Amino acid sequence: MAFEELLNDPVIQKYLHELVGPTGMPVAAAPPDGEVTDEELAEELGLELNDVRRALFILYENDLASYRRVRDEDSGWLTYLWTFHYENIPENLEEEMYRLLEALEERLDYERNHEFYLSEPAGIRFEFSEAMELGFQCPETGAPLEPMDNADLVDAMERRIEELRDELNVEVTGTN
């Protein structure tokens, strides 16, 4: 998939935005062909050099950019030449989906195996043991802690887990 096609995909735009943030998005959204220096990018995009470097480093950490160093013979200064590798985005997104699936499965297990109490005025949720230690009274408002039914949350998590499993072709290995 070409850079242009990738960058027109809203999922990929959101992924890049989550990585580099709004300040780094111009860097991520305008990958040049071939090598480019951070200074050239900053000048071309009208951005602060530090913002460009931050975005490049984040892309590098996520295997979406690489660099090579070239030492100036006269000054001894190093120049970093950056190359973008957006062909790695689909694989990175798939890895993110697996991490999300694992986190949701762990959270679902937690939600199923704990009893919760809620202080509605404060909007704070407590596990049973915490609520018991507090005498079933909210430490912030003094209001009584009421049993909380988390069935809707559990149902929503189960649906999302099933969607992710379907998308990733993951078989259910145990009972959740």
Domain edge (last residue) among 64, 84, 104? 84
pLDDT bucket at 175, cuts 50 / 70 / 90: low
Domain count, the chain: 2
Please tell me the total number of residues recorded for the chain in this structure: 176
pLDDT bucket at 1, cuts 50 / 70 / 90: very low
pLDDT in tens, 83-103: 998 888 889 999 999 999 999
Q: Name the residue among 26, 34, 43 with its Cα closest to residue 68.
A: 34
- 15 & 31 share domain: yes
Structure-token match 């892309």, residue found: 59
Give the global pTM.
Answer: 0.70
Distance between CA atoms of residues 97 and 169, nearest Å: 12
Which domain covers residue 50, as residue numbers?
2-84
